[in-house]
Chains A and B, each alone.
Chain A
Amino acid sequence: DTGVSQNPRHKITKRGQNVTFRCDPISEHNRLYWYRQTLGQGPEFLTYFQNEAQLEKSRLLSDRFSAERPKGSFSTLEIQRTEQGDSAMYLCASSLAGELEAFFGQGTRLTVV
């Protein structure tokens, strides 16, 4: 499968714990995006990378959230001290620079209990 891959698909964690998600983009894509989607809503932009550079972060991305893309390939999204409000589907997408179409992975469903 050459699409965007996200792991894990599901994560249940206790409030206050840290969690980390991984995204592997389509191999030739140099742009990578993170979005968050809650039930009944469309995805909301969190942050994006071009190669290893993080070019923009949304105001939604609190200090407890951090994203990295160290070698310009896969990316990780870490949430520290999780809260119940962090429960959502976390979506990763990738695209080629200069092209607008972004292709999404299957997402990681986070449940904070």
Chain B
Amino acid sequence: EDQVTQSPEALRLQEGESSSLNCSYTVSGLRGLFWYRQDPGKGPEFLFTLYSAGEEKEKERLKATLTKKESFLHITAPKPEDSATYLCAVQAHGGSQGNLIFGKGTKLSVKP
């Protein structure tokens, strides 16, 4: 069964304290892996798509990487405005084109 597990469930950082969020996945064949940011009471905001192992994408203080079994979202020198829940999702080959399988997310809090 296709599955996505994110860790940790929650992460508290001081402003400027860099860290990484983990997304482990099990799929029959990976079509794409996605990172979203979600603020309380709002819909997920698209961040990155990764397609194959070794790929990296960057946006401001965020950098996403992908291996054959997991993805990392690295946050460099975070600011309080980076506080949010970060969701990882996969789409599998052979599965529905519309079906993203999400993890439960990592809730990030950045204190000033």
**A91 adjacent to B99 (CB under 8 Å):** no
Expressed in whole angstroms, the Cα–Cα distance for A84 and B96 within the complex equals 29
Expressed in whole angstroms, the Cα–Cα distance for A49 and B42 within the complex equals 23
**B34 adjacent to A56 (CB under 8 Å):** no
B58 contacts the other chain (CB 8 A): no
A residues less than 8 Å from B16 (CB atoms): none
Closest residue of B by beta carbon distance from A106? B43
Q: If the complex has contacts A42-B87, A42-B102, A48-B96, are A100 and B46 also in contact, measured as CB distance less than 8 A?
A: no
Q: Give chain A interface residues in 40-84, CB to chain B under 8 Å.
A: 40-45, 47-48, 55-56, 58
The residue from B4, B31, B44, B104 contacting A91, defined by CB atoms under 8 A apart: B44
Number of interface residues of B (CB under 8 A): 25
The residue from A42, A100, A107 contacting B91, defined by CB atoms under 8 A apart: A100
Known pairs A42-B105, A104-B46; list 20 more (Cβ under 8 Å): A4-B43, A6-B43, A31-B98, A33-B98, A33-B100, A42-B87, A42-B104, A43-B89, A47-B98, A55-B98, A56-B98, A91-B44, A93-B43, A100-B31, A100-B32, A100-B34, A102-B34, A106-B43, A107-B41, A109-B41
Q: Show the binding face of A for B, using Cβ within 8 Å.
A: 4, 6, 31, 33, 35, 40-45, 47-48, 55-56, 58, 91, 93, 100-107, 109
